[in-house]
Amino acid sequence: MKKILCVLFALLLTVSGAVLSGCTEKPGDDTTAAATDSITDTGNDPAETELKADLPDVKYTGKTIRILLMDRAQSDIYTEDHMTNDAMHDAVFSRNSAVADRFGIEFEYVIDTESGVPSRLSTAVKAGSDEYDICFTHMVNGSNNAINNEVLPIDELPYVDLSKPWWDKDVNQGFSIKGHLMMINGDISPYSFNLTACMYFNKKLFDKYDLEYPYQLVRDGKWTLDKLIELTKDFTADTDGDGKITADGGSDVFGMTAWFLGLPYDFYYGAGGMIVSKDQDDVPYYDLQVERDTAIYDKIYTAVITNQSNYEQSNWNVPHTLFSSGRALFYDASLGDGELLREMEDEYGILPIPKLNEEQKEYKSFVNGASAMICIPATVRAQNREFVSVILEALAGEAYKTVTPVLKETYLKRKYTRDADSMDMLDYVIRNRVFDMGYVFLYGNVGSYVRDLLVKGTKSISATVKSYSKIGPKYVERILKSFDKSLEQ
């Protein structure tokens, strides 16, 4: 069913460590090691899983779909040629087999590093070499391919239907310029779901202090930063009596624990913040709004600094250790970080990132920059675009039906008991994911001001916003010029 041209790294089996600039340097993006037992009840609505891609009844007998694939995300589509009794592997294998059998195709892979994939793609396009059909690339590293005329606009793929639930709704915000959408994501990439922001809470501590689990707050639209602040206020304490509150050693407890390269982005975007917005013609512009961003930052500052959260800046493992040892009420992390909690004795629950306020319509989940994004090389010939779009849509639609339910079950089977409420929460986490061009292209300074101010303990954003209002638009203008120049070639 498939051929392998070049495999440079083994299948990702352990939690990843640091990632390249523009991405949170913390682990927790492994899906393949968890939940090797059988899946019996995914909790999905049958009507949803019966949704099908609207594709022609065709056979491409003998054709091969050639995939250029980032090593970190190879578990998205690369599998052994047989079932392995690993739930996630076998779900992806079943997805691939269903598509291969339906359309009579084979899969061929080239696997490279997160920096190697964009480089390979660029080299092939510049040489006019038709080597790849689909590319799973690094969100940040691969973004330059998107503005350098090296990938096809998705609207040139006739059977990719972005209105379907297996494609991310907000992806236009991060990867569309002047009506040209260059990269997409969704259920086709379970690896990217692992890098989606969420929160964990310690049920034992909630029970100890007679607190109601926040699940119903989420459903009622009342899970907000104010509620998080209320729950964590005065919770951090010097319980070992040494006169100071420390994360390393001892038994001090914290209202919340988080990694400094994660929480600022998770909370800012979760509260509706956005560095770059679009006008009516889909032209990006710098959009740091003083009133909105001041309200967001004030609440983040209160939750982190005023409430004495553990805002770890030196060792990414500390937040995990604090939470897994029962010393933190909340843990800001990603879905993949739950793999690190498999041995945690206390029961925990999963929540979306809190909203700014109850008026905010939806919970929003930031996607870390190490995520894979799917793009189509510009060298795909016009006569091949129907074929490529059919297979891409089929892979995504089949993943929605067969892979995502298993992935969700995997997240929950890290604990011994099934948590139907957390299963419900997962839909709030993965169905409204956020992509911001300001994060992807402007990671340093302008795109990371919340992170930088929290590290300094700065209470007001006014001076920073004033400064960035002058340089931010210039950065965005550079992106536009690069994109416009590429379209002229």
Residue 173 belongs to domain with CATH number: 3.40.190.10
**Which H or E run includes 173?**
helix 171-175
SS3 278: strand
Query: Which token pair is 23?
Result: 């991405």
Count other C-beta atoms under 10 Å from residue 66's C-beta: 21
Whether residue 249 sits in one domain with residue 377: no
pLDDT at 6: 42
Query: Which token pair is 445?
Result: 């300074």
In whole angstroms, what is the distance from residue 27 CA to residue 25 CA? 7
Look at residue 153 and tell me if it is in a domain.
Answer: yes
**Tens place of pLDDT for every residue, the chain, 489 residues?**
555 444 433 333 233 333 333 444 443 333 333 332 322 333 445 445 567 889 999 999 999 999 999 999 999 999 999 999 999 999 999 999 999 999 999 999 999 999 999 999 999 999 999 999 999 999 999 999 998 889 999 999 999 999 999 999 889 888 999 999 999 999 999 999 999 999 999 999 999 999 999 999 999 999 999 999 999 999 999 998 888 899 987 799 999 999 999 999 999 999 999 999 999 999 999 998 889 999 999 999 999 999 999 999 999 999 999 999 999 999 999 999 988 888 899 999 999 999 999 999 999 999 999 999 999 999 999 999 999 999 999 999 999 999 999 998 887 776 534 578 988 899 999 989 999 988 888 877 778 889 999 999 999 998 888 888 888 899 899 889 888 877 765
In whole angstroms, what is the distance from residue 324 CA to residue 415 CA? 12
Whether residue 269 sits in one domain with residue 360: yes
- For strand 106-112 and strand 2-7, is the pairing parallel, antiparallel, or unpaired? parallel
- The residue type of 137 is T
SS3 331: strand
What does the pLDDT look like over 167-210, one tens digit per residue?
998 898 889 999 999 999 999 999 999 999 999 999 999 999 99
Tokens 């302008």 correspond to 446
pLDDT at 353: 98
Whether residue 317 sits in one domain with residue 278: yes
Whether residue 291 sits in one domain with residue 159: no
Domain membership of residue 461 as a residue range: 197-366+434-488
Whether residue 407 sits in one domain with residue 449: no
Look at residue 273 and tell me if it is in a domain.
Answer: yes
Whether residue 313 sits in one domain with residue 187: no
In whole angstroms, what is the distance from residue 486 CA to residue 442 CA? 19
In whole angstroms, what is the distance from residue 21 CA to residue 152 CA? 25
Look at residue 429 and tell me if it is in a domain.
Answer: no
Sorted by sequence, the CB contacts under 8 Å of residue 378 that are 6+ apart come out as: 125, 149, 150, 151, 152
Look at residue 426 and tell me if it is in a domain.
Answer: no
Whether residue 270 sits in one domain with residue 149: no
Domain count, the chain: 2
Query: Which token pair is 346?
Result: 């206390």
Q: Which of 357, 386, 414 finishes a domain? A: 414
pLDDT at 50: 63
In whole angstroms, what is the distance from residue 123 CA to residue 265 CA? 33
Whether residue 214 sits in one domain with residue 180: no
Q: Which of 414, 442, 471 finishes a domain? A: 414
Whether residue 77 sits in one domain with residue 12: yes
Look at residue 240 and tell me if it is in a domain.
Answer: yes
CA distance to 88, 348, 353, 402, per residue, from 409 (Å): 10, 15, 20, 12
Q: Which of 380, 414, 448 finishes a domain? A: 414
Look at residue 422 and tell me if it is in a domain.
Answer: no
Look at residue 37 and tell me if it is in a domain.
Answer: yes
pTM reported for the whole predicted model: 0.86
Whether residue 161 sits in one domain with residue 119: yes
pLDDT at 230: 98
Look at residue 420 and tell me if it is in a domain.
Answer: no
Whether residue 203 sits in one domain with residue 187: no
pLDDT at 488: 65
pLDDT at 111: 98
Whether residue 246 sits in one domain with residue 383: no
